[in-house]
Amino acid sequence: MKNHFATPQDAEDAFYDAIDERDAAAMLAVWEESDEIICLLPMMPVLKGRDAVAQSWRGMLGSEMRFEMEIKHLSWIESTDIAIHFVEEHVATPGQPGKQVVYATNIYRKGADGWRILLHQNSPTPPPDLRIPD
Amino acid sequence: MKNHFATPQDAEDAFYDAIDERDAAAMLAVWEESDEIICLLPMMPVLKGRDAVAQSWRGMLGSEMRFEMEIKHLSWIESTDIAIHFVEEHVATPGQPGKQVVYATNIYRKGADGWRILLHQNSPTPPPDLRIPD
């Protein structure tokens, strides 16, 4: 399991790979080891700190829920030690037609051991014709 | 109209004051002068860059829509030049009972002329009993 991320994009790839592979340990390795971390998933209460984030991802990745996710980058903002990636998550559920699209902001912070996720926040998108076109 | 913000909190206060006072010029003075800025309001398409953000706030603050907003801080994360404030916005509409509560992430960046807003993102909250208690 990878636990060093040389760039924010390496951390982002590992985050979505962990969802694809339903690997809670890999998911938790991407999050910063701090109680400042924040995770806000669709229609869930905000999760703050290692314990809350770990408990929630273990539950979700251990459940029967299956879906496939594609990521579309909309914007990157990077400073010396913080990187903000604003993306669309296109989520397909096997056996169901269509895709659900949600916005996500992923914020990474650079620590002594590389880049880790500091904040993940989802927001609903408006109807497709109002989103940024391809 | 204030256009220098010595701290991220000064910029945040000016952001919500501009909404209270329906002052589009004051609102736009709080946003960074860059095309990296992102504003994501409830159920709206993401707005990116000065022109999109300016046009949208001028429209909203010039409309007949009236509401009162209280802000509750949930978490602050600050680095040298980036500050992330995670808050709840409690929104009351005059003449209507109850309040609507939404999450917001406000990200500020320090430039040569002080702190300005770089990103504002709203997300819906789950039912009240699942939120962080007072």
Q: What is the pLDDT of residues A8-34, one digit of tens each?
A: 999 999 999 999 999 999 999 999 999
Q: Do A103 and B75 touch (CB under 8 A)?
A: no
* pLDDT at B97 (0 to 100): 87
Q: How many CB atoms lie within 10 A of CB A127?
A: 8
**Amino acid code (one letter) for B44:** M
* pLDDT at B119 (0 to 100): 98
Tokens matching residue A30? 């991407």
- Residues A115, A85: contact at Cβ < 8 Å? no
| The pLDDT of residue A127 is above 90 | no
* pLDDT at B132 (0 to 100): 54
Chain B's closest residue to A120, CA to CA, is B105
| The pLDDT of residue B130 is above 60 | no
Q: What is the pLDDT of residues A101-123, one digit of tens each?
A: 999 999 999 999 999 999 999 99
Residue B40: list chain A partners with CB under 8 A: 103, 123
Scanning B55-94 for CB atoms below 8 A from A yields 74-75, 77, 79-82, 84, 86
| The pLDDT of residue B102 is above 80 | yes
- Residues A124, A107: contact at Cβ < 8 Å? no
Angstroms from A70 CA to nearest CA on chain B = 19
* pLDDT at B92 (0 to 100): 92
Q: Report chain A's mean pLDDT, rounded to a whole number.
A: 92
Buried b (16+ CB within 10 A) or exposed e, B34-72: eebbbbbbeeebbbbebebbbebbeeebeeeeeeeeeee
Q: How far is CA A36 from CA A47, A73, A119, B129, in A?
A: 10, 25, 9, 22
| The pLDDT of residue B23 is above 70 | yes
* B133 and chain A in contact, CB less than 8 A: no
Q: Report chain B's mean pLDDT, rounded to a whole number.
A: 92
| The pLDDT of residue B86 is above 70 | yes
Tokens matching residue A94? 């096997």
- Residues A82, B82: contact at Cβ < 8 Å? yes
* B109 and chain A in contact, CB less than 8 A: yes
